[in-house]
Amino acid sequence: MSIAQQQQTPQSYVAATPEPAVMRAIENLSYEWARSIDENRLEDLAGLLTEQCDYKIASRFNTDRGLPLAIVHIRSRSQMRDRITSLRLANIYESHHFRHMVSGVQVIGKTTEGWEVRANYSVIRTMEHNGAMEIFSCGQYRDEVVFEGQTPLLRRRHVLFDSRAIATLLAYPL
Amino acid sequence: MSIAQQQQTPQSYVAATPEPAVMRAIENLSYEWARSIDENRLEDLAGLLTEQCDYKIASRFNTDRGLPLAIVHIRSRSQMRDRITSLRLANIYESHHFRHMVSGVQVIGKTTEGWEVRANYSVIRTMEHNGAMEIFSCGQYRDEVVFEGQTPLLRRRHVLFDSRAIATLLAYPL
Amino acid sequence: MSIAQQQQTPQSYVAATPEPAVMRAIENLSYEWARSIDENRLEDLAGLLTEQCDYKIASRFNTDRGLPLAIVHIRSRSQMRDRITSLRLANIYESHHFRHMVSGVQVIGKTTEGWEVRANYSVIRTMEHNGAMEIFSCGQYRDEVVFEGQTPLLRRRHVLFDSRAIATLLAYPL
């Protein structure tokens, strides 16, 4: 199943946009995710997911071919908290910062309880010791967003990265 | 005529913003264009243009000097379809993906039948065979957007790229 | 004081979003700033600041540690005009263009008279003589936006760049 077949046609994209406040909240959720990572508030990410969730990072190459391998797969808030605790206490990596660019947040359809959302992202990594910057990753977010009261949450976020592998260690979430 | 002279002053930019739903639709059109390319649904681009249109890719250097040379100039949906068919069937190029970042969509004025729109773009190219990423192009979209019913369409999209030339082949539209 | 401590928690971000027209105007201000630089209309920047203002460019490294050193610090429109005049008349630098990507504009709170705003930015620099592109800077805008009538203005813009130093000369504002 190709990427194209998983997506709807341009004709249908026009109708999918929800009312302004909902659209704003969905955008804001994506921006808050990015800012939580970039400001090194990784502990806040769990609160942007639903209790049971599906956060996955997998390559475009694998996804296009229906190959299931993901490099990260998290299914609950607790698992995300666990991962961040591990990152803070146990993992060893060269100190660096991420900076997310999120572009083109689009609601492309309704799901049973929420919204099907797409966005492009790129992440620039800056090394702490010498300030060297490079494009660390780019790709697409494939999200399902649901609302608990006024609060938008990610029930699903699939991060599809364009390159075939992640150079060196992936410490922070994308 | 310099770039500055083609643009309006900051005083007037405030008044130009259309009502929220129109603004959203215009943004969404730009995002849909980007996603159509990035998801390799190039056949869908023609449907985002008006039947008679003006899609042009030219350098900032030439445009600033009033030099007419463009590296792509398409004047109708049919011509766009023709180009995409050629790309699918005849062109030979190393397999790669594009990822668009579109930023700062602004409506800067009304035209007789539509809206004068600007946005910045950058495109990261990832090579299929080794996953190498680089900034392939960046620049500005200079669009006229018109509505057919509820559907926004590009009557004009001038892609002004900042570099003086495109490295290697330009296979996909920008 | 760490970056995390300066920011609010995800719970509070949901409530902060202002009404749609205000949000749009705030976004548009950030985009207009970027476009003024990218279109080389640097003279227009002063008009996007309040008469007395606080425009500062400082590294994330220094800011995180409470170190006051900034590489640019401007406190009024006049000072900005002065700087741009100097750039046009006196400074010598290799000709180049900037292209801003601005992402994730978020209102994160109210101030006494305006709005506390965050956004991520990245700037791609293209050299005029050979078209070479590179990521010149990325980081975060930390703004206070106030309204004079319908017009949003920057009372404060702190540009926090991720790298520890700016390579070569910083000619244009970020």
Which residues does chain C have within 8 Å of residue B3's beta carbon, measured at their own beta carbons? 39-41
Any C CB within 8 A of A25 CB: yes
State the smallest CA–CA distance between residue A139 and chain B in angstroms: 7
Question: Does residue A2 lie in a domain region?
Answer: no
pLDDT of residue A118 exceeding 80, the answer is: yes
pLDDT of residue C6 exceeding 70, the answer is: no
Q: What integer pLDDT is reported at residue C9 of this predicted model?
A: 52
Pairing mode, strands C114-127 and C96-110: antiparallel
**What number of C-beta contacts closer than 8 Å exist between B and C?**
87
State the smallest CA–CA distance between residue C102 and chain A in angstroms: 7
Question: Could you tell me the end-to-end alpha-carbon distance of chain C, in angstroms, rounded to an integer?
Answer: 25
Regarding predicted confidence, which is higher, C17 or C88?
Answer: C88
Question: Does residue C48 lie in a domain region?
Answer: yes
Tokens of A28: 């804001």
Q: A34-48, A158-172, C110-124: lowest mean pLDDT where?
A: A158-172
Count H helices and E strands in chain B, helices first: 5, 6
Query: How high is the ipTM of this complex?
Result: 0.91
Spell out the residues 6+ positions from residue C84 whose beta carbon is closer than 8 angstroms to its own.
C42, C43, C45, C46
Query: CA distances (Å), C43 to each of A109, B10, C154, in order?
Result: 44, 10, 15
Is residue A124 classed as helix, strand or coil in its secondary structure? strand
Whole domain around residue C142: which residue ranges?
14-161
Cα separation, B105 vs C28, whole angstroms: 8
Looking at chain A, which residue has its C-alpha nearest residue C104?
Answer: A31
CATH number at residue C67: 3.10.450.50
Partner residue opposite B35 with nearest CB, options A14, A60, A104: A104
Q: What integer pLDDT is reported at residue C170 of this predicted model?
A: 81
Go through C33-48 and write b for each residue having 16 or more CB atoms within 10 A of its CB, e for each that does not: bbbbbbbebbbbbbbb
Predicted confidence (pLDDT) per residue in A50-66, tens digit: 999 999 999 998 998 99
Q: What integer pLDDT is reported at residue C156 of this predicted model?
A: 98
Contact B28 A106 (CB under 8 A): yes
Q: Give how many domains chain A has, as a whole number.
A: 1
Which of B174, B134, B138 is CA-nearest to residue B154? B174
Spell out the residues 6+ positions from residue C112 whose beta carbon is closer than 8 angstroms to its own.
none
Predicted confidence (pLDDT) per residue in A21-44, tens digit: 899 999 999 999 999 999 999 999
Contact B25 A4 (CB under 8 A): no
B107 phi-psi bin (left φ>0, alpha ψ -120 to 50, beta other): beta
Q: What angle do CA C87, A101, B21 make, to 5 degrees?
A: 100
State the smallest CA–CA distance between residue B104 and chain C in angstroms: 5
Question: Does residue B8 lie in a domain region?
Answer: no
Give the amino acid at A143: D
Predicted confidence (pLDDT) per residue in A3-26, tens digit: 434 444 555 677 677 888 899 999
Residue C16 CB coordination number (10 Å): 16
Contact C120 A48 (CB under 8 A): no
User: Once rounded to an integer, what is the mean pLDDT over residues A78-105?
Assistant: 93
Question: Does residue C167 lie in a domain region?
Answer: no
**What number of C-beta contacts closer than 8 Å exist between A and B?**
88
Cα separation, B14 vs C26, whole angstroms: 10
Q: What SS3 string covers chain C?
A: CCHHHHCCCHHHHHHHCCCHHHHHHHHHHHHHHHHHHHCCCHHHHHHHEEEEEEEEEEEHHHHHCCCCCCCEEEEEHHHHHHHHHHHHHCCCCCCEEEEEEEEEEEEEEECCCEEEEEEEEEEEEEECCCCCEEEEEEEEEEEEEEEECCEEEEEEEEEEECCCCCCCCCCCCC
- Which residues are bridge partners to A99 per DSSP? A124
Percent of chain C whose predicted confidence (pLDDT) is above 70: 90
Any C CB within 8 A of B21 CB: no
Given a cut of 50, the residues of chain B with pLDDT beneath it are 1-8
Pairing mode, strands A49-59 and A151-161: parallel
Question: Does residue C24 lie in a domain region?
Answer: yes
Q: What integer pLDDT is reported at residue B138 of this predicted model?
A: 97
Q: What angle do CA B52, B58, B59 make, to 5 degrees?
A: 160
User: Are the beta carbons of C56 and C76 closer than 8 angstroms?
Assistant: no
Q: What integer pLDDT is reported at residue C12 of this predicted model?
A: 62
Looking at chain C, which residue has its C-alpha nearest residue B23?
Answer: C24
Go through C104-131 and write b for each residue having 16 or more CB atoms within 10 A of its CB, e for each that does not: bbbbbbeeeebbbbbbbbbbbbbbeeeb
The answer, as to whether pTM is greater than 0.90, is yes
Q: What integer pLDDT is reported at residue B5 of this predicted model?
A: 39
Substitution target from A40, A95, A97 for chain C, most C beta carbons within 10 A: A97
C1 falls in which pLDDT band (50, 70, 90)?
very low
Question: Does residue C36 lie in a domain region?
Answer: yes
Subunits close to C (at least 3 CB pairs below 8 A): A, B
Any A CB within 8 A of C7 CB: yes
Cα separation, A101 vs C121, whole angstroms: 7
User: Once rounded to an integer, what is the mean pLDDT over residues A79-88?
Assistant: 95
Regarding predicted confidence, which is higher, A165 or B23?
Answer: B23
User: Once rounded to an integer, what is the mean pLDDT over residues A116-137?
Assistant: 94
Q: Beta strands of chain A (E only): which ranges?
A: 49-59, 72-76, 96-110, 114-127, 133-148, 151-161
Contact C97 B162 (CB under 8 A): yes
Partner residue opposite A4 with nearest CB, options B20, B40, B135: B40
Query: CA distances (Å), C3 to each of A40, A144, C58, in order?
Result: 8, 29, 14
Q: What integer pLDDT is reported at residue C168 of this predicted model?
A: 64
Partner residue opposite C133 with nearest CB, options B20, B120, B138: B138
Regarding predicted confidence, which is higher, A11 or C46?
Answer: C46
Contact A20 C20 (CB under 8 A): yes
Predicted confidence (pLDDT) per residue in B118-141, tens digit: 999 999 999 988 889 999 999 999
Question: Does residue A50 lie in a domain region?
Answer: yes
Percent of chain C whose predicted confidence (pLDDT) is above 90: 72
Subunits close to A (at least 3 CB pairs below 8 A): B, C
Any B CB within 8 A of C131 CB: yes
Cα separation, C63 vs C66, whole angstroms: 5
What element of type H or E holds B118? strand B114-127
Question: Does residue A5 lie in a domain region?
Answer: no
CA atoms within 13 A on the CB side of A70: 14
Supply the mean pLDDT for chain B. Answer: 90
Which of B18, B137, B173, B154 is CA-nearest to residue B76? B154
User: Are the beta carbons of C31 and C25 closer than 8 angstroms?
Assistant: no
A171 falls in which pLDDT band (50, 70, 90)?
confident
